[in-house]
Amino acid sequence: MLSCLLGLRQPKLDAETRAFFRDACPWGFIVFREACVSREQLRALCADLRDTVGHDAIVWIDQEGGRVARLKAPEWPTWPAAGKFGEIYAKQKDAGLEAAYLGYRLIAHELRDAGLDGDFAPVLDVPVEGSDKIVGDRAFSADPKIVALLARAALNGLHDGSVAGCIKHMPGHGRATADSHLALPKVGAQEIDLANDVLPFTELADAEAAMTAHIVFKAWDPDRPATCSPVVIDEIIRKRIGFQGMLMSDDLDMHALQYALNGGLKERAEAAVGAGCDVVLQCSGVLKEMQTTAAGCRELAGLPLVRARAVEAFAKRPPREFDAGAGWARFKQLMADFAPA
């Protein structure tokens, strides 16, 4: 299996893409809105992906709720952004924790029903005043301790539904004053402030997977974004935060890496894997770009393979017993009870 996770933006595999996936054998996949037409169609697509690569690959999705949701109404329910759970927590702590757990337990229920078993959530970023709005209400709170508590509840909800989670964007995107989809953010904060940003990640360092941030942290490595920085990955993520799970890059297509590195997707993949990422993420769904990315990847072996197997264990175990009807009723009650006056 190659150390990559590739995107799909079509509802059905074409012959060329199927042949590439069969030969390259990526570790996993991520599906986007264009690939999610109906429940029956998505189940068939996920089964086809796994059959093509010949292993029970995890099929991931970005389903945070709020702005970042690939499963859309009317085919699927609508979930609030993570910030809503923080608002409830501010009014009543137990209700906030219950809402966060239930929200992500219900997401897991819907994902499993559609053939999906990995979610790029929860977000652990801590937004600060003056930062770019790309995080905004995707964050649970501006208080790192509350972020950690609610993110733990959310991750537990995914796990109980037999869905692997991925905490993001390590070591913290909340202080960036630019959107890394469009530019290369550079954070000049000092250690005392950055300690605030990494706290939620430290509290959830036992998570099975994490995603890096395409951000330059001048205090740690002024020349390279975290995704491509051996210093940030080894000294901050692995040692200081204590994260020993599978580390994935954010999308290699994002403009941040275009500004940070010379070369194309092959060079970006090589830089990320060389810096210590176990797996790279490339989301365009364009065959030629996926082929170029794969050329910069490695076969999963050694510790990265051990970490991959650990992530698969979260995604492939049976879900805990759950009454989805009762869960939705309780969740809707919580949303109504704590709706703005």
Q: From the candidates 48, 113, 160, 181, which is the catalytic residue?
A: 181
- Please say if 51 is a catalytic residue: no
pLDDT per position as a tens digit, 194-205: 999 999 999 999
d(Cα 269, Cα 278) in Å, to the nearest integer? 11
pLDDT tens for each residue of the chain, 341 residues long: 999 999 999 999 999 999 999 999 999 999 999 999 999 999 999 999 999 999 999 999 999 999 999 999 999 999 999 999 999 999 999 999 999 999 999 999 999 999 999 999 999 999 998 888 889 999 999 999 999 999 999 999 999 999 999 999 999 999 988 888 888 989 999 988 999 999 999 999 999 999 999 999 999 999 999 999 999 999 999 999 999 999 999 999 998 898 788 889 999 999 999 999 999 999 999 999 999 999 999 999 999 999 999 999 999 899 999 999 999 999 999 999 998 76
Give the residue extent of every domain in the chain: 2-51+63-321
Structure tokens at 318: 């049976």
pTM: 0.96
At 165, is the secondary structure helix, strand, or coil? Answer: strand
Torsion region of 136: left, alpha or beta (phi above 0 gives left; psi -120 to 50 gives alpha): left
d(Cα 173, Cα 135) in Å, to the nearest integer? 7
320 close to 255: Cβ distance less than 8 angstroms: no
**What is the domain class of 2-51+63-321 according to CATH?**
alpha beta
How many residues make up the chain in this entry? 341
Q: From the candidates 250, 251, 253, 278, which is the catalytic residue?
A: 250
pLDDT per position as a tens digit, 39-59: 999 999 999 999 999 999 999
Q: Measured on CA atoms in the order 264, 210, 109, 328, is the torsion positive or negative? A: negative
- Please say if 250 is a catalytic residue: yes
60 close to 29: Cβ distance less than 8 angstroms: yes
189 close to 142: Cβ distance less than 8 angstroms: no
